Amino acid sequence: MPTTLLQSDLPGLELLHRGKVRDVYALPGNRLLIVASDRLSAFDVVLPDPIPGKGEMLTQISNFWFAKTGHLVPNHLLHTPLSEVLPAGTDLALYEKRAVVTRRLKPVPVEAIARGYLIGSGWKDYQATGAVCGIALPAGLKQAQQLPEPIFTPSTKAAVGDHDENVSFDAVVAAVGAELAEQVREATLAIYKWAAAYAAGRGIILADTKLEFGTDEDGKLYVMDEMLTPDSSRYWPADEYQVGISPPSYDKQFVRDYLETLDWNKTAPGPRVPAEVIGRTEAKYAEALRRLADIELG
Ligand SMILES: Nc1ncnc2c1ncn2[C@@H]1O[C@H](COP(=O)(O)OP(=O)(O)OP(=O)(O)O)[C@@H](O)[C@H]1O
Ligand SMILES: [Mg+2]
């Protein structure tokens, strides 16, 4: 059975950050302990009900892709056994599938997004301007259409509650310098292309994905945070894909659809979510893990 954890509690470790999903602790030796909880956020608001096992699934999917793409881009994982770093008396079973030990990196302040298909904010920007993040695209493309070539469409990391904003590559250069900007773009596209081809072989379209990067004391670049999870990526079942319509995806669509039926203004506090919607969302995450990585939790 998957475990359920809404909020981690690790006495003796320094809590650096409680994000929407992850709790981040400092470890000696410039390392982090990152725990993925079962918190569910929608429209950037954390909802009161957890999705049991979601953090385990997210961590297992990330670990799968970090291993698969390690030959392309170095990543933050250190592979230290959790039993060595958890405080004495911690329930190892509660943490072992949802926590990782990583290098503690300096975040590159950009959401590194690669898109192979025209959907979401990319589709919105294209309709308004014919371009995405300043990259001009051919005229006449339809919603969810595959792009001639995957593109790098960075956005700025918004403060809590705000929505991220698409920016041009030049804006990234201005923020972090040309060399790092180029490295991030190359790494993002390399990972996207590799993963999209892998997913295609399993009957799944990887429409787009968001990566985060960080640098170490020597300025070396690593991919960090989560990788190619249903939270950070749009996965579409290939057999249901059709140009011109927004395809069903493996992510929070059930929850979003449910929330759209409510009279809720999408600011905190979020509403309770019925057990049926929780159950269907849980099943979707499990299906993504099974179909992509052949991993069964439980
Ligand atoms: N190896 C790493 N070194 C430093 N920071 C990291 C590393 N891996 C992940 N992070 C940071 O840890 C946090 C993970 O928390 P989580 O994903 O829940 O945050 P979030 O809700 O997406 O965003 P926010 O940080 O704005 O709350 C992110 O801020 C991420 O940038
Ligand atoms: Mg995050």
130 assigned to some structural domain = yes
Q: Can you say how many angstroms the Cα of residue 60 is from the centroid of all Cα atoms in its chain?
A: 13
pLDDT of the residue at 158:
67
**Domain check: are 181 and 243 in the same one?**
yes
Same domain, 211 and 253: yes
Which tens digit of pLDDT belongs to each residue from 79-123?
999 999 999 999 999 999 999 999 999 999 999 999 999 999 999
Which one-letter amino acid corresponds to residue 40? Answer: L
Nearest-CA neighbor of 12 among 30, 33, 43, 37? 33
Tell me, using a 6 A CB cutoff, whether residue 18 lines ligand 1: no
Taking the model in full, what pTM does it have?
A: 0.94
* CATH number of the domain within which 157 lies: 3.30.470.20
Give yes or no: residues 237 and 115 share one domain: yes
Find out whether the beta carbon of 224 lies less than 6 Å from any atom of ligand 1. yes
Q: Please give the full DSSP string across 206-242, using - where no structure is assigned.
A: EEEEEEEEEE-TT--EEEES--S-TTTEEEEEGGG--
- Assess whether 79 and 120 both reside in one domain: no
Determine the structural domain holding residue 113 and report its residue range. 107-267
Q: Which residues pair with 211 in a beta bridge?
A: 112
Q: What pLDDT, on the 0 to 100 scale, is given for residue 285?
A: 84
39-42-15 Cα angle (round to 5): 35
Residue 49 lies in a domain: yes
Which ligand sits closest to the CA of 75? 1
Residue 4 falls inside a structural domain: no
- What number does the ligand 1 atom closest to the CA of 76 have? 1
User: What is the maximum alpha-carbon separation in the chain?
Assistant: 61
Q: Are residues 42 and 94 in the same domain?
A: yes
In a domain, 135, yes or no: yes
User: Are residues 181 and 225 both part of a single domain?
Assistant: yes
The pLDDT tens digits along the chain (298 residues) read 899 999 999 999 999 999 999 999 999 999 999 999 999 998 889 999 999 999 999 999 999 999 999 999 999 999 999 999 999 999 999 999 999 999 999 999 999 999 999 999 999 999 999 999 999 999 999 999 999 999 999 999 766 556 789 999 999 999 999 999 999 999 999 999 999 999 999 999 999 999 999 999 999 999 999 999 998 999 998 998 999 998 877 767 789 889 999 999 999 999 999 999 999 999 988 888 899 988 887 6
Residue 273 lies in a domain: no
For residue 286, tell me if it sits in a domain. Answer: no
Q: Is residue 9 part of a domain?
A: no
Q: Pick from 5, 22, 227 the residue to mutate for probing ligand 1's pocket: most ligand atoms within 8 Å of its CB.
A: 22
Q: Looking at the structure, tell me whether residues 23 and 126 fall in a common domain.
A: no
Structural domains in the chain (count): 2
- Looking at the structure, do residues 94 and 182 belong to the same domain, yes or no? no
- pLDDT of the residue at 298: 60
Q: In angstroms, what is the span from residue 127 Cα to ligand 1's centroid?
A: 32
CATH number at residue 88: 3.30.200.20
Do residues 259 and 119 both lie within one domain? yes
Q: Does residue 276 lie in a domain region?
A: no
Same-domain status, 119 and 100: no
pLDDT at 17: 97
Q: Which of 104, 121, 153 is the last residue of a domain?
A: 104
User: Is residue 116 classed as helix, strand or coil in its secondary structure?
Assistant: strand
Cα–ligand 2 centroid distance for 19 (angstroms): 7
